[in-house]
Amino acid sequence: MENPKVLALRLHCREGDRAVRIAQILARPKGYDEPHIIPLPRYRIPQPAREKPTPAQLRVISAISHGMNLKETAEILGISWETAKTHIRNAKLRTVAKTTAHLVAICLRNEWIP
Protein backbone atom coordinates (compact mmCIF):
# COMPACT_ATOMS: atom_id res chain seq x y z
CA MET A 1 0.00 0.00 0.00
CA GLU A 2 1.40 3.38 -1.01
CA ASN A 3 1.87 6.19 1.48
CA PRO A 4 -1.11 8.61 1.51
CA LYS A 5 1.19 11.64 1.02
CA VAL A 6 2.62 10.17 -2.16
CA LEU A 7 -0.79 9.06 -3.40
CA ALA A 8 -2.24 12.54 -2.92
CA LEU A 9 0.64 14.15 -4.81
CA ARG A 10 0.35 11.64 -7.66
CA LEU A 11 -3.22 12.78 -8.24
CA HIS A 12 -1.98 16.33 -8.86
CA CYS A 13 1.36 15.66 -10.59
CA ARG A 14 2.58 13.74 -13.59
CA GLU A 15 4.48 10.50 -13.06
CA GLY A 16 8.18 11.23 -12.70
CA ASP A 17 7.53 14.79 -11.60
CA ARG A 18 10.01 16.25 -9.12
CA ALA A 19 7.29 16.87 -6.53
CA VAL A 20 6.36 13.17 -6.58
CA ARG A 21 10.01 12.18 -6.14
CA ILE A 22 10.41 14.56 -3.21
CA ALA A 23 7.24 13.22 -1.60
CA GLN A 24 8.53 9.67 -1.99
CA ILE A 25 11.77 10.60 -0.28
CA LEU A 26 10.00 12.39 2.56
CA ALA A 27 7.53 9.53 3.07
CA ARG A 28 10.22 6.88 3.65
CA PRO A 29 10.47 5.26 7.06
CA LYS A 30 13.07 6.77 9.40
CA GLY A 31 15.51 3.85 9.31
CA TYR A 32 15.57 3.63 5.50
CA ASP A 33 19.06 2.72 4.22
CA GLU A 34 18.98 4.29 0.74
CA PRO A 35 20.71 7.68 0.70
CA HIS A 36 18.37 10.60 0.29
CA ILE A 37 18.39 12.06 -3.19
CA ILE A 38 17.74 15.77 -3.38
CA PRO A 39 16.83 17.01 -6.86
CA LEU A 40 19.12 19.72 -8.15
CA PRO A 41 17.62 22.98 -9.39
CA ARG A 42 17.61 23.51 -13.12
CA TYR A 43 20.19 26.09 -14.08
CA ARG A 44 19.95 28.36 -17.07
CA ILE A 45 22.48 27.85 -19.82
CA PRO A 46 24.71 30.95 -20.00
CA GLN A 47 23.69 33.17 -22.89
CA PRO A 48 26.39 34.56 -25.18
CA ALA A 49 26.99 38.30 -24.97
CA ARG A 50 25.06 40.29 -27.51
CA GLU A 51 27.73 42.89 -28.21
CA LYS A 52 31.29 43.65 -27.19
CA PRO A 53 31.57 46.72 -24.91
CA THR A 54 33.23 49.85 -26.29
CA PRO A 55 36.92 50.51 -25.58
CA ALA A 56 36.02 53.16 -22.96
CA GLN A 57 33.70 50.69 -21.21
CA LEU A 58 36.38 47.99 -21.34
CA ARG A 59 38.89 50.33 -19.66
CA VAL A 60 36.48 50.84 -16.74
CA ILE A 61 35.67 47.12 -16.54
CA SER A 62 39.36 46.23 -16.59
CA ALA A 63 40.09 48.58 -13.68
CA ILE A 64 37.18 47.13 -11.69
CA SER A 65 38.39 43.60 -12.41
CA HIS A 66 41.71 44.55 -10.78
CA GLY A 67 39.93 45.46 -7.54
CA MET A 68 39.39 49.20 -7.87
CA ASN A 69 36.09 50.84 -7.01
CA LEU A 70 34.32 53.28 -9.32
CA LYS A 71 35.74 56.38 -7.62
CA GLU A 72 39.35 55.17 -7.95
CA THR A 73 38.70 54.06 -11.52
CA ALA A 74 37.28 57.45 -12.46
CA GLU A 75 40.24 59.30 -10.93
CA ILE A 76 42.80 57.13 -12.74
CA LEU A 77 41.02 57.35 -16.10
CA GLY A 78 40.36 61.09 -15.73
CA ILE A 79 36.58 60.83 -16.00
CA SER A 80 33.80 61.65 -13.57
CA TRP A 81 32.28 59.07 -11.24
CA GLU A 82 28.93 59.40 -13.07
CA THR A 83 30.60 58.67 -16.42
CA ALA A 84 32.26 55.54 -15.02
CA LYS A 85 28.92 54.42 -13.59
CA THR A 86 27.25 55.04 -16.97
CA HIS A 87 29.96 53.02 -18.76
CA ILE A 88 29.27 50.06 -16.45
CA ARG A 89 25.50 50.38 -16.85
CA ASN A 90 25.71 50.54 -20.65
CA ALA A 91 28.20 47.64 -20.77
CA LYS A 92 25.76 45.52 -18.74
CA LEU A 93 23.05 46.29 -21.29
CA ARG A 94 25.32 45.36 -24.19
CA THR A 95 26.43 42.06 -22.67
CA VAL A 96 23.15 41.12 -20.91
CA ALA A 97 25.01 40.97 -17.58
CA LYS A 98 22.93 41.23 -14.42
CA THR A 99 25.61 42.47 -12.02
CA THR A 100 29.02 44.08 -12.26
CA ALA A 101 30.65 40.81 -11.21
CA HIS A 102 28.73 39.04 -13.98
CA LEU A 103 29.93 41.71 -16.43
CA VAL A 104 33.56 41.17 -15.41
CA ALA A 105 33.14 37.39 -15.74
CA ILE A 106 31.68 37.74 -19.26
CA CYS A 107 34.55 40.02 -20.34
CA LEU A 108 37.17 37.66 -18.92
CA ARG A 109 35.54 34.60 -20.50
CA ASN A 110 35.46 36.28 -23.92
CA GLU A 111 39.04 37.56 -23.41
CA TRP A 112 38.01 41.19 -23.92
CA ILE A 113 40.05 42.29 -20.89
CA PRO A 114 43.41 40.98 -19.64
Can you tell me the distance from the alpha carbon of 86 to that of 70, in angstroms, rounded to the nearest whole number? 11
Q: Could you please state the CATH topology (level 3) that the domain comprising 55-109 is classified under.
A: Arc Repressor Mutant, subunit A (1.10.10)
pLDDT digits (tens, 9 = 90+) for 42-99: 666 566 668 899 999 999 999 999 999 999 999 999 999 999 999 999 999 999 888 9
Global pTM value: 0.58
Can you tell me the distance from the alpha carbon of 114 to that of 99, in angstroms, rounded to the nearest whole number? 19
* Domains in the chain: boundaries: 1-41, 55-109
How long is the chain? 114
